[in-house]
Amino acid sequence: MAKPLAPASIPDEKGFLASLALRARPGLLLLGLAIAGCAGHSDRTKEIRSALDAGQPKRALEFVNEELEVDDAKELPEELGGDNSLLLLDRAMILQGIDRYDLSSRDLEVADKHIEILDLSRNAAHDVGKYLFSDDVGPYRAPPYEKLLINTVNMLNYLARSDLNGARIEARRFAVMQKFLAEHESPGASLLGPGSYLAGFTFEKSGRVDEALRYYDEALAYGTLSSLSGPVARLLPRGGYRSPRLRAIAEGSKPEATVEGEPAASEEEAEILVVVNFGRVPAKVAKRVPIGLALTYASGALSPGDVDRANYLAAQGLVTWVNYPELGRARGNYDNPGFALDGKWAGLEGVLAVDLEAKKAWEDAKGTVVAGAITRMLTRVVAGEAVRRTEGGVVGALLSLGVQATLTATDTPDTRSWSTLPARMAFGRVRVKPGAHTVDLVARGVRKRQRVNVKPGGWAVVAHTVLF
Amino acid sequence: MASLIRTFLPVCLLAAAAVSACGPKAVRGDDVAGLDDQAMSTGLDKRDLQKMLHENMQALQSSAVVQRWQKEDRPAVSVIPLRNETSEHIDGVLDALLSDIETTLVNAGHVRVISMEQQPQLVEEIKRQYAGAFDPSQVAKWGKQIGSRYIVTGKVYSADEKQADERRVQYFMFVQVLDVETGEVLFQHKTSVTKALI
């Protein structure tokens, strides 16, 4: 059982902390000067998000290119360190929004590889640094929903280009990540409706029935998806994969949606899948809260000793506010997107509330993050106090302030996140006669019209991404 | 002032050394020992391709199908794209391997190689068809279209696993020789390569 740390123990640490602080003074000052100039990720991406809010994706693209220090979206940054891989994810979403699926794919693939290396390179020193110096020390660790969305968004990029080969590779990468998350996080963390839906669609159109059914089964485990009842009913007699969920949805299947309003669905018919991504997930922003409230947030993640110490320092008036990252507000999550085929309205189905996934991931992590912020603040105060008591007098007070100011300057709340993800994803799926069709998609008042030509038994995927 | 310099000089020198060592510089593979040996990702690189090519071609040279080719007086053969069934975007690398296989067949002299480079549309068509299940009758159709008696093709699979501190990709490459007339597989050989981030 952890032994509570008595407030009286602060002077006991005086010698060690004082000598550490005194010896580290030049280093701390240098570090402080170096980091004080670096804004958090939220500040770096503020202009990008503002341009998106204004409905100017091309302007947002210019800002993200400036941050990446490249002339245009065809270029990759020289370095993928810092937050550049995260900025590539941001750029990939913007590129998808302007139908540059090829460049979006490239950015996602580069970022996917780099984020994986970052994940594998995290070590104990980064975790210690997070508790001692700054929340954003160490490489970015993407939450499960972001990791799964990298492959999901890229699958959509490939499907929009009718590239089943590329989509299958992304589907396999998605499956590898799902397995990892199921084994290392929780089975629930590995579920993501749109990823499984698109993987199922990819394998269905590749003629691989059992793989398609397995992915559709996963998508149904994530949520109710009525648009899958027809495809599952069609696939079940052709495959060997079975599950109670698939049988149930197939038994309750209604005739599939068609433009012509005819229920029959022959093998010669083609199919159109539309994906509408709209709104934007809440970005993380730096926030200050009173120490009392912060201690409530972190109650489950702090040791009784740290709680006692924080309360003692709060009572002394040495600690009043705590800085930590908080989620802002999602945008556009209440919009009702529309889908019309050849001038007739067709149904759309909400498949994923990304904003709620972001909120859930943040709620899960919040206690630990706030606990880290409190621990860093305690470290600063204790180090400052130790210097003050060692030097004494005015010099001690000034040095104490200097040490605390330096450590405060280096402490940046970790506002890193994939902030250009859409808040919501909606799917629509209809069987059509082969030939030319006009697809109209509307989200957030932005309309996209695309002509598609489908062969007998063929398919087309149309995406519409509006990030505000 | 002197004490200030004493304090900061080592730090500055260290920082300068660190900064000067950080910048990348262009190098030539022949000038840096072992540059081609270093694995840089879980994708396939030159060394992996050479290993796969060498093992597959060696098996082919000693197979019954080469004896058959010798009796047929240099029949026409085409090498068509290998199917990528992995979790990595390695299609470009597999296309390079295709050219390597062509080169080896040309230099061995048993067959006349009809290059697919002159038929990019057919290559695209073949890649599109690979989206679906493998269909030998389709291969026969392509063979006739190209004017080849035999088709050399293949597929690459992967077993991809990730742990907390490691990702391992095991590649399995199958190279096949198909008879265009019958669709029969006359030769098949498997090689494997493992790449990992550890």
Q: Which of A109, A120, A205 sits opposite B197 (nearest CB)?
A: A120
pLDDT at A69 over 90: yes
Per-domain residue ranges of chain B: 46-197
pLDDT at A2 over 90: no
Q: Identify the helix (H) or strand (E) that includes residue A24.
A: helix A14-36
| A143 φ/ψ angles, rounded to the nearest 5 degrees | -70, 160
β-pair partners for A140: none
Backbone Cα Rg of chain B: 24
In this prediction the ipTM stands at 0.79
Work out the angle at residue B146's Cα, subtended by the Cα atoms of residues B143 and B151, and round it to the nearest 5 degrees: 40
Supply the mean pLDDT for chain A: 83
pLDDT at A220 over 70: yes
Q: Does B125 touch chain A (CB under 8 A)?
A: no
Q: Which of B11, B86, B91 sits opposite A26 (nearest CB)?
A: B11
Backbone Cα Rg of chain A: 26
Each residue's pLDDT tens digit, B78-114 = 998 888 999 999 988 888 888 889 999 999 999 999 8
* CA–CA min distance A170, chain B (Å): 7
- CB–CB contacts below 8 A, A to B: 57
Quick one: pLDDT at residue B25?
77
Contact A179 B167 (CB under 8 A): no
Contact A169 B88 (CB under 8 A): yes
Residue of chain A whose Cα is closest to the Cα of B131? A206
Q: Does B95 touch chain A (CB under 8 A)?
A: no
pLDDT band with cut points at 50, 70 and 90 for residue A406: low
Looking at per-residue pLDDT, the higher value among A51 and B119 belongs to: A51
Interval A22-50 mean pLDDT: 63
Work out the angle at residue A51's Cα, subtended by the Cα atoms of residues A48 and A56, and round it to the nearest 5 degrees: 125
The encoded tokens of residue B116 equal 């697919």
Q: Does B130 touch chain A (CB under 8 A)?
A: yes
* CA–CA min distance A133, chain B (Å): 20
Quick one: pLDDT at residue A23?
52
Each residue's pLDDT tens digit, A298-326 = 877 788 888 887 888 777 777 777 888 88
Taking contacts as CB-CB distances below 8 angstroms, the residues of chain A near B85 are 168
Q: A133-147, A444-458, B167-181: which range is least confident on average?
A: A133-147
Q: Measured between alpha carbons, how far is A29 from A399 in angstroms, rounded to an integer? A: 11
| Fold of the CATH domain B46-197 | Rossmann fold (3.40.50)
Q: Which of B8, B85, B127 sits opposite A26 (nearest CB)?
A: B8
Q: Out of A364-373, A408-417, B89-98, give the one with best mean pLDDT.
A: B89-98
User: HEC states along B99-113?
Assistant: HHHHHHHHHHCCCEE
pLDDT at A330 over 80: yes
Quick one: pLDDT at residue A137?
67
* CA–CA min distance A454, chain B (Å): 15
Looking at per-residue pLDDT, the higher value among A99 and B11 belongs to: A99
pLDDT band with cut points at 50, 70 and 90 for residue B2: very low
Q: Which of A109, A120, A206 sits opposite B132 (nearest CB)?
A: A206
Quick one: pLDDT at residue A37?
40
Q: Measured between alpha carbons, how far is A80 from A456 in angstroms, rounded to an integer? A: 45
Q: A33-37, A133-137, A240-244, A359-363: which range is least confident on average?
A: A33-37
Quick one: pLDDT at residue A281?
95
Interval B16-20 mean pLDDT: 48
Quick one: pLDDT at residue A38?
47
Q: Which of B11, B131, B160 sits opposite A176 (nearest CB)?
A: B160
Work out the angle at residue B78's Cα, subtended by the Cα atoms of residues A168 and B138, and round it to the nearest 5 degrees: 50
Share of chain A above pLDDT 70, in %: 80
